[in-house]
Copies of this chain bind each other. A is one copy, B any other.
Amino acid sequence: MSLRHAVLGLLANGPASGYDLLKSFELSLSNVWSATQSQLYGELGKLDAAGLIVVASEGPRGRKEYAITDEGRAELRHWLLEVEPTRVRRSDMLLRVFFLNQVTPAEAEGYLDGQEKHAQAYHDHLLALEGQIPWDDTALSVYGRIAMEWGIRFSRASIEWSAWAKERLRDAALPEGEWAKERLREAGLEEKS
């Protein structure tokens, strides 16, 4: 139910149309919560029906500007302070690590290397962005900066982890290890588990 709260959160900082919100998702919120256009318009309809937002005004091209209601604000506050964040922990990047024993150590190292490069690129991107934004002392800015710091720290930790993992892999050096058995199996030589 977080898309609902993302929309309420955005509208709490001022009224906006579905199109406006979509832009907000695309350029600032996408790093922590992404939404598609079709999902967004659907959710606006539901929030309206539930009385958490209202159409404040209608503009050209069928534009509908939504505003948060008192009930919406109460719901947002409840979610912010009383609902425990769900920790999903679903990462297909990490899932692959679990099954890397199915490929050769050289291929596994290649995979980890790719992840390191990706994390490095993302880290560089965030640092560049951080330098561009004129941070001030308004609440919006302070919390935005805190959220961005999370990205910076976690991409840095990713880079360091990848490097550590590659080294660990080299140290373990699995020449006749588990993966070799898998090669044999692929060659058609079945064995009992």
Which residues of A are in contact with B by a Cβ distance under 8 Å?
2, 5-6, 9, 12-15, 29-34, 70, 73, 76-77, 79-81, 85-103, 107-108, 110-111, 115, 137-140, 142-147, 149-150, 153-154, 156-157, 160-161, 164-165, 168-169, 172, 174, 177-179, 182, 185-186, 193
Contacts and interface: CB of A to CB of B under 8 A. Distances in A.
Contact of A99 (B31, B80, B115, B149): B80
Contacts of A30: 89
Query: Chain A's interface: helix, strand, loop or mixed, by majority?
Result: helix
Contacts of A140: 101, 178
B90 A34 contact: yes
A85 B158 CA distance: 14
A138 B182 CA distance: 13
